[in-house]
Amino acid sequence: MTPFTYERAGSPAEAAAAAARTPGARFIAGGTNLLDLMKLQIETPAHLIDVNGLALDTIEATKDGGLRIGALVRNTALAADRRVRRDYALLSRALLAGASGQLRNKATTAGNLLQRTRCPYFYDTVQPCNKRRPGSGCAAIGGVSRQLAIIGTSEACIATHPSDMAVALRALDASVETVQADGAPRRIPLAEFHRLPGDTPHIETVLEPGELITAVRLPKPVGGRHIYRKVRDRASYAFALVSIGAILHEDGSGQVALGGVAHKPWRVEAAEAELPRGAKAAAEQILAGARPSRDNAFKITLVERTLAAVLAEARG
Amino acid sequence: MQKLVPSSLSRRDLLAASTASLTGAVLAQAEDASPEETAHADAGTAMRPPIRAQVSFTVNDRPRELDLDTRTTLLDALREHLHLTGTKKGCDHGQCGACTVLVGGVRINSCLTLAVMHQGDAIITIEGLGTPENMHRMQTAFVKHDGYQCGYCTPGQICSAVAVIGEIEAGIPSHVTPDLTGTPELVAEEIRERMSGNICRCGAYSNIVDAITEVAGSRA
Amino acid sequence: MKFDRPATQNPIDRLKVVGQPLDRIDGPLKTTGTAPYAYEHHDVVADAAYGWTIGAGIAIGRITRMDLAEAERAPGVIAIVTADNAGLLGKGDHNTVRLLGGPDVQHYHQAVALVIAESFEQARAAAGLVKIDYAAEPGVFDLTAAKGSAIAPEPNELTGPVDTRIGDFAAAFAEAPVTLDATYTTPDHSHAMMEPHATLAAWEGDRLTVWTSNQMIAWATADLAKTLGIAPENVRVVSPFIGGGFGGKLFLRADVLLAALGARAARRPVKVALQRPLIANNTTHRPATIQRIRIGARRDGTITAIGHESWSGDQPGGGLETAVSQTRLLYAGANRMTAMRLAELHLPEGNAMRAPGEAPGMMALEIAMDEVAEKLEIDPVEFRIINDTSVDPENPERPFSARALAECLRQGAERFGWNRRDPRPGRTRDGRWLIGMGVAAAFRNNLLITSGARVRLDGTGQVTVETDMTDIGTGSYTIIAQTAAEMMGVPVERVTVRLGDSDFPVSAGSGGQFGANNSTAGVYAACVKLREEIARRLGFNSEAAEFENGEVRSGNRAMPIAAAAAEGDIVAEDKIEYGDLSERYQQSTFGGHFVEVGVDIATGEARIRRMLAVCAAGRILNPKSARSQVIGAMTMGAGAALMEELAVDTRRGFFVNHDLAGYEVPVHADIPHQDVIFVDETDPMSSPMKAKGVGELGICGVAAAVANAVYNATGVRVRDYPITLDKYLDRLPDVA
Ligand SMILES: Cc1cc2nc3c(=O)[nH]c(=O)nc-3n(C[C@H](O)[C@H](O)[C@H](O)COP(=O)(O)OP(=O)(O)OC[C@H]3O[C@@H](n4cnc5c(N)ncnc54)[C@H](O)[C@@H]3O)c2cc1C
Ligand code: SF4
Ligand code: FES
Ligand code: FES
């Protein structure tokens, strides 16, 4: 961890401006991902802007019947919110399936969205990694890749986005609210928020330098059965091999997003028309064009079988 | 932020938690920061002298004022600066739970938070729960049920356990809570899921759950 | 004291204190965070500087350039230790590779430098400024690929013979009406103890003291002296509390050497804790194995041929993972063979981890037994009992000192409700779960090792025991206190136990589940001497004197024990030494593991629902801490069954998942309530304590019981550990 200066920001606009102004500045919220990476010198900010004092820790009803979740609402608080539990159970379930109680008590809504990959080679700083050091190569391709992505990958990177929460938000058609360095607010649909690796795996979202997330917005509840199914080797405190976040309606229609398969929460809206035809048909379309490695080809079967279980649970 | 209050902690323990100070100011200015955020530590930043900052909080009710390198985690502040070594470092990366402490009554991993971010906080460590002469009943229950072996994960388990009972009582759901709109119950399955952020390689889990169940049961 | 005849009646048999389920005497310290571990001796050594270890970034090759200039100039840096400036270093007898590498690199994350600075933060940051260039060389990292080149190494004391042959295995196997020929694999495992390897080192002139975390004080002392090239008398090793070891802290490791070198270079105390991401590759691990098992049986279930071959790999100069050792002893069968082969690999050093040999060996053998039982259509519990033996099957002259395998299995089957198991796999459902039950035998040898202790009585009647024995969570403090209390006839509160210091008499140490029996036997020996001296001073005939309730009594004369020390402390020191009882009798511990699992019919996730172990391990010195040893071992066995694997990058030559998020070990949610039953047994051949070990018995066989349960649940046999869903998902019933 290299030395850094530290300030507590007073307002969102001020924080964004300070971040844009100060070279090498980063926001710190829960710190559970940023500090982890700073200890390994994967992240080396010269200046930390502590955003915990910004009053962005409330969940409010919006005019259109949805919810506006402050960027600093802790994962525990979000999962426990009565409205979320009632109307967006998928989100509660996804949050509760992630990390541990201690981590969720610190982790924030914004930080969770922006957490970086758990690719083991990304974490091992002497290994080539295009995400960590652009142009250095990708040690994971041809290496140990059981956990890594099967779809939307590139020649440069096959990492996954590890967030459970983001999978739920994707299925829920959430959007992200920000303020940019010049103080201008912006709203980004979650579908467009995370990027695929392409040639620039080190650029993970569409955020501009200094852009501060202020909230995540949920549209008004759509009802249906909310199911989050996370498949992992150990029963808790583990990242997903594959996860499925689904909202399923009586008529067989639904929204489905996948975790553990791609560089972002994976959702193919067009494939959702196949849901009434069953898991096999839908999974085939959702994963059309998948290019798994030998280590993670099982994820294709796993997605299909897990989706089948999710559909059965929704029916039952 | 929602405060989770394990009811075995006194109100006094938690008082300072909500007064998180707003005295924050720019504590030092970057002189020669690197523009490339994701790059390897370049000599410029790494060669900078440590940047120090002051922070005050209470630990186990005692006010503490520290002048620290900003890089110091809460865990290292406790262990290396305050010599409160009851809180353990198992991984330093949020992967084991040995460093669990209660901040404002909420359990967190002290290895993944900076000390300077705790201005005004009320921190409770294992030493604050009880002493060998005057043990907290969770500590007594761990001894009775042999809820430990090497003892290294134990302070974290105990801090977590105390908080878990509070979380269940506060109605916070977990991954295994069958009905999200209902109230979670104080049952073994809930305890196991919620304690899963505390790894015990000695494998004392079965006994730890017995200890927690006893304490939880005796409260009901 | 020489123990060369079977134990007869002795004061331990009173079982007033020994054998009682006492709470641990160190419990209040551990649960309040006041037990000091290696990195935490602020009270003894103020002002220690901080060391940060740099591990090699290649698996094999050379450092071509090491640029320390910037790091040396970094704020707070005091010194940097490398092979270049460390002076001539030796290598410990128990180390295969050097603890400080450079310029040659022998494995990934081999320590190549220690950066010492005023603060932890400064040391860590400065380490990032050290620039190292390497010339990597090709290495061998894939056991499967290297199997063909494996050789039969020279046998030694640890491995026993590399090949054994009894009768005519090939002919008997060819003739057997029912046969199994199957190959199993077990992966590399990491000890992953919760306390990282850590050391605080301080020099006083020529004398070095290290506060560390080590299971075997005498080995560490000797190897540290040898590595540094100094006299062992000048080295003191202190390790009162150890945050888990499981074999990973049996040996001198890099933290100790680097702290010592660092303290010398910095001219002040230095402390070093290996960073978690370094531990898996920097330290030792349980090596992977490939095991071929052939069993031939008659239709009545009698095994006529049993063969077990194992391949493992290690660094040049390293040793075998002795995965066939239990097969030499566990089941009858007139025609037998075993063989072990060793391949040269350039992965990190392989070495002992909890029940080396038997743990991976039983993982394979006990699936094989399940497979044969199924072919025979004989219940797997019965099949094992049919092939029970009361003598060493390779050497029928040698009986077992005690062997309650059949009893363990029978009791376990009864308690577990084994009769409710449907032998036809894939038939039992509970909602989304496929349910299965599995059984395996447990087996681990009992080792007899010289162990010493010193006992002191003071004028207040307090008894103090000192021995370099360690407590790695095993309960040594408590059982040693119980032993001394029983021997001296005082309550356990009147006993102080001081462990883990090379100033104390050398004990067996903690390893190979030999700690409890041997170390308490050493304390027994010292107490016998102390009793004699007390009796003499108080004018009793020591043969007739009884020590009870704080008094020495004979006939109707009684004196408080404290009176003997009125003039000054009485100190007695002795050690237990063994004759040939372990050659005349095979001494082993036995058990039965029973497991119920649920396998999610859709996702294939396997979760354990019930676990029971029944153990026969001689006298149980403290049922509470012994039970903990067993449940802990069952938990580690559950990890081995379902999740633990150091993932090898066979191109780059290292364990990729080298932290606690990547290397998954069981968490609370993985482990159900666990039951343990101890069969009533005393073994007079083992020691005056009549005890044996349990800490490793508990892990041997668990993983196979889980594997067999998964098979019973699903009908899919997986022979490659860990049994993760990717290995059988496509063979589960259709769910679409
Ligand atoms: C052992 C372990 C296991 C885990 N398991 C899981 C799991 O199973 N599932 C899962 O989903 N997650 C898991 N996590 C990850 C955890 O959820 C994240 O670390 C956490 O959500 C990050 O939130 P934070 O507030 O702490 O972020 P921080 O660490 O504070 O920040 C993360 C990033 O977000 C940026 N940032 C923070 N706030 C803002 C803002 N308002 N605007 C713009 N940028 C901002 C920071 O600059 C930083 O780059 C695990 C973590 C650990 C350590
Ligand atoms: S997959 Fe992506 S994150 Fe992993 S090593 Fe390759 S480039 Fe880096
Ligand atoms: S030391 Fe903080 S979680 Fe391991
Ligand atoms: S008691 Fe040793 S890790 Fe839990």
A170 touches chain B (CB under 8 A): no
Average pLDDT of the residues of chain A: 97
A155 touches chain B (CB under 8 A): no
CATH class of C388-445+587-731: alpha beta
CA of A158 to the centre of ligand 2 (A): 6
Average pLDDT of the residues of chain C: 97
Q: pLDDT value at position C158?
A: 81
Which of B48, B106, B173 is opposite residue A3, by nearest beta carbon? B48
Give the separation between CA C448 and CA C446, rounded to whole angstroms: 7
A168 touches chain B (CB under 8 A): no
Tell me whether domains C39-356 and C388-445+587-731 share a fold. no
Q: Give the percent of chain C with pLDDT over 70.
A: 100
Nearest ligand 3 atom to alpha carbon B112: 2
Which CATH number is associated with domain C39-356? 3.90.1170.50
Q: pLDDT value at position B47?
A: 77
Q: Determine if ligand 4 sits within 6 Å of the CB of residue B96.
A: no
Q: What is the mean pLDDT of residues C317-339?
A: 97
Q: What is the pLDDT of residues B158-210, one digit of tens each?
A: 999 999 999 999 999 999 999 999 999 999 999 999 999 999 999 999 999 99
Which of B25, B26, B194 is opposite residue A101, by nearest beta carbon? B194
Q: Provide the token pair at A71.
A: 């960027």
Which ligand is nearest to the Cα of residue A79, counting in written order? 1
Q: How far is CA C380 from CA A35, B10, C301, C414, in A?
A: 52, 56, 10, 14
The answer, yes or no, to whether residue B42 has pLDDT greater than 90, is no
Contacts of A123 in chain C (CB under 8 A): 277, 659, 662
Contacts of B41 in chain A (CB under 8 A): 2, 41, 44
Q: Determine if ligand 4 sits within 6 Å of the CB of residue B202.
A: yes
Q: Give the percent of chain C with pLDDT over 90.
A: 99
Q: What is the pLDDT of residues A242-284, one digit of tens each?
A: 999 999 999 999 999 999 999 999 999 999 999 999 999 999 9
- DSSP-based three-state secondary structure for C718: coil
- DSSP-based three-state secondary structure for C264: helix
Q: pLDDT value at position C590?
A: 98
Give the separation between CA A12 and CA A184, rounded to whole angstroms: 11
In this prediction, residue B12 has a pLDDT band, given cuts at 50, 70 and 90, of very low
Number of alpha carbons in the 13 Å side-chain half-sphere of residue C372: 34
Q: What is the pLDDT of residues C487-498, one digit of tens each?
A: 999 999 999 999
- DSSP-based three-state secondary structure for A56: coil
Residue whose C-alpha is closest to residue C6's, from C508, C693, C690? C690
Nearest CA in chain B to C122: B50
Q: Which of B74, B85, B96 to mutate to test the pocket of ligand 3 (most atoms within 8 A of CB)?
A: B96
Contact flag B33-A46 (C-beta cutoff 8 Å): yes
Give me the residue label for tokens 């081995």: C640
CB pairs under 8 A between B and C: 226
The answer, yes or no, to whether residue B40 has pLDDT greater than 80, is no
Contact flag C659-A123 (C-beta cutoff 8 Å): yes
Q: What is the pLDDT of residues C512-541, one digit of tens each?
A: 999 999 999 999 999 999 999 999 999 999
Give the separation between CA C259 and CA B202, rounded to whole angstroms: 26
The answer, yes or no, to whether residue C347 has pLDDT greater than 60, is yes
Which of B2, B25, B30 is opposite residue A22, by nearest beta carbon? B30
Q: Where are the domains of chain C?
A: 2-35+448-581, 39-356, 388-445+587-731
- C696 included as an active-site residue: yes
A3 touches chain B (CB under 8 A): yes
Cα dihedral value A60, A64, A65, A66, nearest 10: -60
Closest-CA residue, ligand 1 atom 5, reads A99
Q: Show which of residues 127-186 on chain A sit within 8 Å of chain C, judged by CB atoms.
A: 127, 139, 142-144, 146
- DSSP-based three-state secondary structure for A260: coil
A92 touches chain B (CB under 8 A): yes
Burial class (CB in 10 A: 0-12, 13-18, 19+), C229: exposed
Q: What is the mean pLDDT of residues C495-514?
A: 97
The answer, yes or no, to whether residue C727 has pLDDT greater than 50, is yes
Beta-carbon neighbour count of residue C339 at 10 Å?
17
Burial class (CB in 10 A: 0-12, 13-18, 19+), B21: middle
Secondary structure of chain B as H, E, C letters: CCCCCCCCCCHHHHHHHHHCCCCCCCCCCCCCCCCCCCCCCCHHHHCCCCCEEEEEEEECCEEEEEEEECCCEHHHHHHHHCCCCCCCCCCCCCCCCCCEEEECCEEEEHHHCEHHHHCCCEEECHHHHCECCECCHHHHHHHHCCCCCCCCCHHHHHHHHHHHHHHHHCCCCCCCCCCCCCCCCCCHHHHHHHHHHCCCCCCCHHHHHHHHHHHHHHHC
Q: pLDDT value at position B9?
A: 32
Q: What is the pLDDT of residues C632-657, one digit of tens each?
A: 999 999 999 999 999 999 999 999 99
Q: Which of A37, A50, A103 to mutate to test the pocket of ligand 1 (most atoms within 8 A of CB)?
A: A103
Q: pLDDT value at position B26?
A: 29
Nearest ligand 3 atom to alpha carbon B197: 3
CA of A195 to the centre of ligand 3 (A): 31
> In CATH terms, is domain C2-35+448-581 a member of 3.90.1150.10?
no
Residue with more model confidence, C526 or A181:
C526
Query: How close is the nearest chain C Cα to the Cα of A129, in Å?
Result: 14
Output phi, psi for A56, to 5 deg: -115, 35
A213 in Cβ contact with A236 (< 8 Å) = no
Q: What is the mean pLDDT of residues B74-81?
A: 98
Q: pLDDT value at position B15?
A: 28
In this prediction, residue B3 has a pLDDT band, given cuts at 50, 70 and 90, of very low
Closest-CA residue, ligand 3 atom 3, reads B94
Contact flag B127-C34 (C-beta cutoff 8 Å): yes
Touching subunits for chain B (3+ Cβ pairs under 8 A): A, C
Which of A31, A43, A74 is opposite residue B37, by nearest beta carbon? A43
The amino acid occupying position C703 is A
Contacts of A99 in chain B (CB under 8 A): 197
Give the separation between CA C452 and CA C572, rounded to whole angstroms: 11
Give the separation between CA B147 and CA C668, rounded to whole angstroms: 12
Residue with more model confidence, A149 or C160:
A149
Nearest CA in chain C to B40: C128
Q: pLDDT value at position C159?
A: 83
Query: C438-469 in b/e burial notation, b at 16+ Cβ within 10 A?
Result: bbbbbbbbbbbbebbbbbbbbeebbbbbbbbb
In this prediction, residue B30 has a pLDDT band, given cuts at 50, 70 and 90, of very low
In this prediction, residue B18 has a pLDDT band, given cuts at 50, 70 and 90, of very low
Q: What is the pLDDT of residues C74-100, one digit of tens each?
A: 999 999 999 999 999 999 999 999 999
In this prediction, residue C385 has a pLDDT band, given cuts at 50, 70 and 90, of very high
Contact flag B38-A4 (C-beta cutoff 8 Å): no
Q: pLDDT value at position B219?
A: 61
Q: What is the mean pLDDT of residues C98-110?
A: 98
In this prediction, residue C422 has a pLDDT band, given cuts at 50, 70 and 90, of very high
The answer, yes or no, to whether residue C8 has pLDDT greater than 70, is yes
Closest-CA residue, ligand 4 atom 3, reads B200
Which ligand is nearest to the Cα of residue A163, counting in written order? 1
- DSSP-based three-state secondary structure for A171: helix
Q: What is the pLDDT of residues A43-98, one digit of tens each?
A: 999 999 999 999 999 999 999 999 999 999 999 999 999 999 999 999 999 999 99
The answer, yes or no, to whether residue C437 has pLDDT greater than 60, is yes
Residue whose C-alpha is closest to residue C329's, from C446, C230, C416? C446
C33 in Cβ contact with C188 (< 8 Å) = no
In this prediction, residue C571 has a pLDDT band, given cuts at 50, 70 and 90, of very high
Give the separation between CA B106 and CA B98, rounded to whole angstroms: 15
Q: Which helix (H) or strand (E) holds A191?
A: helix A190-193
In this prediction, residue B1 has a pLDDT band, given cuts at 50, 70 and 90, of very low
Q: pLDDT value at position B45?
A: 67
- Per-residue DSSP letters for A72-92? T-BHHHHHH-HHHHHH-HHHH
In this prediction, residue A316 has a pLDDT band, given cuts at 50, 70 and 90, of confident
Residue with more model confidence, A175 or B26:
A175
Give the separation between CA C445 and CA B39, rounded to whole angstroms: 54
B90 in Cβ contact with B98 (< 8 Å) = yes
Give me the residue label for tokens 């990958």: A153
Contact flag B151-C473 (C-beta cutoff 8 Å): yes
The answer, yes or no, to whether residue C259 has pLDDT greater than 90, is yes
Q: What is the pLDDT of residues C391-414, one digit of tens each?
A: 999 999 999 999 999 999 999 999
Marked catalytic residue, from C366, C371, C466, C696: C696
